[in-house]
C-alpha cells in the first residue's frame, strides 16, 4: 500500500478498534459547517478529527481512572 492508503487504513482501524466511529463521524460532520475547514483537504480534516477524538477519549479515560482511584482512598 502507498502512503495515502496507509493513512486512511490506520485511522479507520484505530477509530473502530477504540469504538469511536460515531464520535469521529460526528466531528467530521461538525467540521463541515465551519468556515475554517471549507477549503481544507480531506486528509487534513481526517487528521484533525482523529486526533481530536482520540485525545478527548484518552482524557476521559484518564479522568475516570483518577476518579476511581480517589474513591478507593
The 10s digit of each residue's pLDDT in 22-40 is 999 999 999 999 999 999 9
In the predicted model, is pLDDT for residue 70 greater than 70?
no
Q: What is the pLDDT of residue 11?
A: 95
Residue-wise burial string across 4-15, b where 16 or more C-beta atoms lie within 10 A, e elsewhere: eeeeeeebeeeb
% of the chain at pLDDT higher than 70: 78
pTM over 0.85: no
Q: What is the pLDDT of residue 63?
A: 65
**Least confident span in 18-22, 42-46, 57-61:** 57-61
Amino acid at each position: 500500500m502507498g502512503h495515502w492508503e496507509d493513512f486512511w487504513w490506520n485511522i479507520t482501524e484505530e477509530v473502530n478498534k477504540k469504538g469511536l466511529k460515531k464520535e469521529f463521524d460526528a466531528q467530521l460532520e461538525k467540521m463541515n459547517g465551519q468556515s475554517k475547514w471549507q477549503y481544507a483537504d480531506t486528509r487534513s480534516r481526517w487528521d484533525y478529527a482523529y486526533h481530536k477524538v482520540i485525545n478527548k477519549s484518552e482524557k476521559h479515560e484518564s479522568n475516570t481512572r483518577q476518579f476511581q482511584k480517589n474513591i478507593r482512598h
